[in-house]
């Protein structure tokens, strides 16, 4: 299966409406999350909902590929 990224730019009101699942946040180790400025805030079956401030997606793409392979 191919990793597909879908980008959405969220406004502050959108961000404030997000209720993260703290178990999902733990999927990415803290050191990695800080390095690539990314966290997973929700998961539905095979879909991760990811929040990032990183506009250079190589690290994110690599992370998602490794998660997909698991």
Q: Where in the sequence is the domain holding 40, given as residue range(s)?
A: 19-69
Start-end of H helices in the chain: 12-16, 22-25, 30-36, 58-69
Flag whether 39 is in a domain: yes
Q: Domain for residue 28, yes or no?
A: yes
The answer to whether residue 13 is domain-embedded is: no
Number of domains in the chain: 1
Please report the pLDDT score of residue 67 as a whole number: 75
Comparing 70 with 12, the larger pLDDT belongs to 12
In a domain, 12, yes or no: no
62 within a domain of the structure (yes/no): yes
Residues 8-66 have pLDDT tens digits of 778 888 888 888 888 888 888 899 889 888 888 888 887 888 888 877 677 777 877 78
Residue 60: inside a domain: yes
Is 44 part of a structural domain of the chain?
yes
CA distance 66 to 37: 17
pLDDT at 31: 92
Distance (Å, whole) CA 32 – CA 9: 22
> Does residue 2 register a pLDDT over 70?
no
Task: Judge whether 2 lies within some domain.
Answer: no
Reduced to 3 DSSP states, what percent helix, strand and coil does the chain have, rounded to the nearest 5? 40, 20, 40
């Amino acid at each position: 299966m191919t990793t597909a990224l879908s980008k959405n730019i969220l406004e502050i009101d959108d961000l404030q409406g997000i209720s993260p699942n703290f178990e999902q946040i733990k999927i990415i180790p803290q050191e990695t999350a800080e390095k690539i400025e990314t966290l997973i805030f929700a998961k539905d079956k095979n879909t991760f909902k990811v929040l990032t401030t990183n506009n250079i997606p190589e690290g994110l793409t690599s992370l998602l590929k490794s998660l997909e392979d698991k």
